[in-house]
Structure formats: structure tokens, C-alpha cells
Amino acid sequence: MSGYSSVFGKGLFKDQVILVTGGGTGIGRCIAHELASLGALVIIAARKLDQLNNTAKEIRLLGGRCETMTLNIRDPLQAQDLVNSLVAKHGKLTGLVNNAGGQFHSPASKMSPKGFATVVDLNLMGTFYLCKAAFEGYMGEYGGSIVNIVAECRNGFPGMVHTGAARAGIINMTKTLAVEWGPYNGIRINCVAPGLILSSGMKNYPEKVLDGFLDNSWLNPAGRMGTESEIASSVVFLLSPAASYINGINLPVDGASSLSKGDAKANSAHPSYNPAGSKMAPYIGWPQQGGEGDGGRGGRGVLKELDAPEPMMQLYAKYKSMAHKL
């Protein structure tokens, strides 16, 4: 195979410094692992330092490079200070993943104006602050690639009107910035829109809401929820030179759930219902080190792959058993 060359090699991001907000947990943690395994120096930033440090430790144990910084993305001054200090220390900021965010479940009729504004502030404003800080602190002069994690919201977002509005705002903002900032040394900016993903973020939801997610989880052409790795691999692609002509898009990573019409009350009567479960194999790409007996980590400590509520862990075990073998 020596005649082949591909951008998808171990050194893909070896000269890159990439900031991942919310990189201590869930999808962000998985993105950080993937980027570090491909050579990037990954800076993970969020409010809770202990979570960030745990993830950074895992990455270093596996041979990757990772540093932590505290950040509240709702504060534009913190965003600018963080970018300035990491550029001063490392000389560059070549990639940014705006992954930090979230919301709560509530019918629009019961949501207070402050509740709506809080979620718009966190997701839409927070993403804008980080994009602007990256532009002003480095990328405006030297270029770079940005990926904004949003949420699948093609058909609105019943039960989460605030986040639907905020994420749709980010998708539109991304298109504008792609056009305004593309000419600045070729900044690319794109979105990834996860559907329902088995992630630690699920710990934020009460049991009743989780039950609703689980009831609906198979009602899409994939017949299952997504994995953190399936989001991370899409982010890796969009950040990489393999996507160098892709700018301003929103990539739904949702098993086509946004194209299908589920009916949670009709479970077994639904034409797409398969009592045996999903047939579409998941991708679960956690970094593995050779050796057996320690979870395949070659004596470097066991990595907890997922930290989610119990019913989600059961699904994860099932998905792992049917995952693509790499």
C-alpha cells in the first residue's frame, strides 16, 4: 500500500492548535480525543475545571496533547482573553469547535421570557463570541477552520423552542460568516447538527424526558440513536483539508431522522419497526492502545467511553456489539 497517500493519516492535525469548547464531557470530550489522536494540540475549555482536567489526563495517557482553560462562553471578554492567551502561548489557533451549549425541555407556552433568552444567550451569543474572538485573535490574519455544533432542527424543535431558534440562528450566522470571512486567508466555517446522541448530556434531562427520547430513538431510517464518535468523526472531516472546498454548510448527523416522520405511539405498528433492533451499524471510534486485560489500553488506564444515564448505557452496550469493526 506504500503508493497511496491520504489526508486521513495519524499526523493529519500535527501542526494544529484546536480549541474545543465544552471539551471536558460528552461529544466535546470525544472530539478532543479524536483530534488529539490525529496529532493536534487540543485546548479544551468550559466552566468546570475538574471535568476538563480528567479528559486532558485521559488524552495525555493515550499519548495525545491536551491543555485546559476555564471559560464561560456567555462572557465575550472571557472569550477574547482566552483566545489571546492561547495564541500568545502557542503562536496560533488553527481550529475552533463551538460545542458548548445546551437547553432544557419545556413547552413554549410554559417557557418564561428569561428562560428563552438564557438559552439563546448561551448557544447563539456564546457561539458568536467565540467565532469573533477567534477571528480577531488569530484567524482574521492567518485563516483557520471553525465547526459549530448545533442540533438537528430542520422541522422546528417542538419541546425546545429556544434552542431551535438559537441553533437556526447559528446555522444562518455560519452562512454569513462563510461569505464574509472566507476571503480572509480562507477561513472556513461549517455546522454539524446532531440528532439524538447517546452522550453525557442526557444526564441533564429528567426521567420523563429521557423516556420520550428512548421511545422515539428508533423512529428514523437508522433505527437507533447516534454515538458521540459519529459526531466527532464528522467534525474531524470538516476541520480537515479533505473538506477544503466546503464552507457555510450545515451537516445533519442524525440517521436521517429529520427526513422521517416518527409516531411514538404507534411503535410496533410502524412500518419501519424492526423488533430485532437497528440494522445500521454504528461507528464507535474511541482510541485503543494494544494489549488485552485492561480494556485494550496497553497498561495506560481504562477509558470510560460513555457517561450517560443507565438506559442509555444499555443501548450503548448493544450498539457496541454491532458496531463497525475497525
Chain contacts with ligand LGGBLMCM (rule: CB under 6 A): 102-104, 106, 112, 114-115, 118-119, 122, 151-152, 195-196, 201, 204
Nearest-angstrom CA–CA distance, 230 and 198: 10
Q: Pick from 43, 46, 59, 214 the residue near ligand NDP by CB under 6 A.
A: 46
Q: How far is CA 174 from CA 103, 165, 167, 235, 248, in A?
A: 20, 14, 10, 15, 6
By CB under 6 A, is residue 233 in contact with ligand NDP?
no
Select 23 or 195, whichever has its Cβ closest to ligand LGGBLMCM: 195
Residue 210 touches which member of ligand LGGBLMCM, ligand NDP, none, C-beta under 5-8 Å by kind: none
By CB under 6 A, is residue 22 in contact with ligand NDP?
yes
Other Cβ atoms closer than 10 A to 75: 14
Nearest-angstrom CA–CA distance, 139 and 145: 8
Select 152 or 230, whichever has its Cβ closest to ligand LGGBLMCM: 152
Residue 21 touches which member of ligand NDP, ligand LGGBLMCM, none, C-beta under 5-8 Å by kind: ligand NDP
Helix (H, G, I), strand (E, B), or coil: what is residue 21? strand
Stretch that binds ligand NDP, among 22-30, 111-119, 171-179, 279-287 (CB under 6 A): 22-30
Are 151 and 254 in contact, with CB atoms under 8 Å apart?
A: no
Select 16 or 98, whichever has its Cβ closest to ligand NDP: 98
User: Restricting to residues 114-143, which ones interact with ligand NDP according to CB under 6 A?
Assistant: 122
Nearest-angstrom CA–CA distance, 154 and 256: 11
Residue 112 touches which member of ligand NDP, ligand LGGBLMCM, none, C-beta under 5-8 Å by kind: ligand LGGBLMCM
Other Cβ atoms closer than 10 A to 49: 14
- The CB-of-283 to ligand LGGBLMCM minimum distance in angstroms stands at 18
Q: Pick from 14, 48, 89, 279 the residue near ligand NDP by CB under 6 A.
A: 48
Q: Pick from 76, 102, 182, 296 the residue near ligand NDP by CB under 6 A.
A: 102
Nearest-angstrom CA–CA distance, 85 and 138: 11
DSSP string over 35-99: HHHTTPEEEEEES-HHHHHHHHHHHHHTT-EEEEEE--TT-HHHHHHHHHHHHHHHS---EEEE-
Select 14 or 48, whichever has its Cβ closest to ligand NDP: 48
Nearest-angstrom CA–CA distance, 306 and 104: 21
Residues at the site binding ligand NDP, with contacts judged by CB under 6 A = 21-22, 24-28, 46-48, 51, 71-74, 99-102, 122, 149, 151, 194, 196-197, 199-201, 204
